[in-house]
Amino acid sequence: MGRTGFGDLEHGAIPTFYAAPPAPRTAPVGTPERPIPLIIDSDPGLDDALAIGLAVARPEIELLAVTTVGGNADVRHCTDNALRLLHAFGRSDIPVAEGAQGPLTGEVVRATAIHGEGGLGRTELPPSPATACPEGAVALMARLLEESPAPVAIAPIGPLTNIALFIRLHPDLLARISHLSIMGGSIGEGNTTTSAEFNVYADPEAADIVFRSGIPITMMGLDVTHQATLDAAAATRLRDLGTASGVIAAELVDFAIERVWQWYGGTTTAIHDAVAVAHLAIDDLVTVASYNVRVDTSAGPARGRTVCEGLGRRMTRYGLQPNAEVGIRIDPGRFEGLLVDAFGRLP
Ligand code: RIB
Ligand code: CA
């Protein structure tokens, strides 16, 4: 049977997944001549570490700061990890400020089973000469947005607690945010529960505030980040770069693959967070589609689900407006090459 009004389907089966068509990106992208000013809000974190290294290495990005939030590990570990990573990447001058330990409400959720108790597996990095800014994450964000001559992009790659607090504390500064390139959520199933991806599950109320805020958003959910994987051969490519940063990245990837193998029998690891950062440096790396995204903040089995509506006629029927571009496709080989190239540029 041919078309059923929902596209070409075999046997006339009614689809259960209405994929929105690819759409042109509206997120800004930096160039070496005009690097995009960026704050990364992070819970380092194995994949966070590669995302931070990518941001430091790419000439299209001017990394203004790394703010930290509890997520993969306790926020104290995340802050220390951010300081040590930036030091290892030769940029201990980039300010780090600590944010929320846990969610706005509800239980603290951690991912130490994957990332290790300290958040960076077995990797021990030398201490940084720098210390975290005493003003804290939200105040540092506010100061940098006020001081920047141009609006600043933010890449939240951990739970969205700090971003939600910023929205509530500085509503007057939201126009100074050029874009939120978020790692989080999923059109399809989650990774922490059947319904929810970790960053959203860790603080659904914060994610709800963010997706309702009106700030331009790109959501890099699991649908696209699960295409952005590295394997043991990629770790070898990183190690063979001959840079200390390449060795660090290789160690982190190897540890992540080891945990994925133990947990799922898998042999690759998704470098989720680097997709949200890479999107701001490379114009055509990620294909996006336009969705209305709402967050389930109930206490039921769907808690933390990002409900992604991509079917135009249903948006119209229920009075929904698109509020996010959602990542749907990435070229895995190109993504791997981008990371290897980046860590070859670091010390
Ligand atoms: O679900 C993936 C996200 O959870 C990534 O940000 C990873 O670092 C973990 O925090
Ligand atoms: Ca993260």
| Banded pLDDT at 5 (limits 50, 70, 90) | very low
Give me the pLDDT at residue 12, please: 67
Neighbours of ion ligand 2 (CB under 5 A): 43, 45, 48, 157-158, 273
pTM equals: 0.95
Residue 9 above 60 pLDDT?
A: no
Is the C-beta atom of 183 inside 6 A of ligand 1?
A: yes
pLDDT digit string, tens, across residues 133-159:
999 999 999 999 999 999 999 999 999
Residue 73, pLDDT above cutoff 70: yes
In a domain, 338, yes or no: yes
- SS3 for 319? coil
Predicted pLDDT of residue 167 = 98
- Ligand 1 center from residue 159 Cα (angstroms): 8
Phi-psi region of 258 (alpha: psi -120 to 50; beta: other; left: phi over 0): alpha
Instruction: Name the closest-CA residue to atom 1, ligand 1.
Output: 198
- Report the alpha-carbon distance of residue 37 to residue 153 in Å, rounded: 6
Q: What does 184-218 look like in DSSP terms, one character per residue?
A: ---SS--SSSSS--HHHHT-HHHHHHHHTS---EE
Is 214 within the bounds of a domain?
Answer: yes
Cβ of 110 below 6 Å from ligand 1? no
Is residue 10 in a domain? no
pLDDT (mean) for 287-314: 97
Which runs of consecutive H residues, i.e. helices, occur in 28-74? Answer: 46-57
- Rounded to whole angstroms, how far apart are CA atoms 305 and 186? 8
* Least confident among 3-7, 20-24, 45-49, 202-206: 3-7
For ligand 1, say whether the CB of 259 is within 6 Å of any of its atoms.
no
Write the CB contacts of 183 (distance below 8 Å, at least 6 apart in sequence): 51, 155, 156, 157, 199, 220, 225, 272, 273, 275, 276
- Is the pLDDT reported for residue 62 higher than 90? yes
Is 317 inside any structural domain? yes
Average pLDDT, the chain: 95
> For ligand 1, what atom is nearest to the CA of residue 45?
8
Percent of the chain with pLDDT strictly greater than 90: 90
Task: Evaluate whether residue 8 is within a structural domain.
Answer: no
Gap from CA of 265 to ligand 2 centroid (Å): 22
16: in domain: no
Q: Is the pLDDT of residue 96 over 90?
A: yes
Catalytic, 11? Answer no
How many helices and strands in the chain, by DSSP H and E?
13, 12
pLDDT at 1 over 90: no
Which residue among 77, 87, 115, 272 is the active-site one? 272
| Stronger pLDDT, 130 or 18, i.e. the higher one | 130
Q: What is the mean pLDDT of residues 284-288?
A: 98
Distance (Å, whole) CA 80 – CA 70? 12
Q: Tens digit of pLDDT for each residue in 256-275? A: 999 999 988 999 999 999 99
- The predicted pLDDT at position 10 comes to 58
Contact 253, 234 (CB under 8 A): yes
Q: The domain containing residue 116 runs over which residues? A: 22-345
On whether residue 4 sits in a domain, the answer given is: no
CATH code of 330's domain: 3.90.245.10
Domains of the chain: total: 1
Q: Is the CB of 336 under 6 A from ligand 1?
A: no
Tell me if 49 is assigned to some domain: yes
pLDDT band at 8 (very low <50, low <70, confident <90, very high): low
Q: How confident is residue 214, by pLDDT bands cut at 50, 70 and 90? A: very high
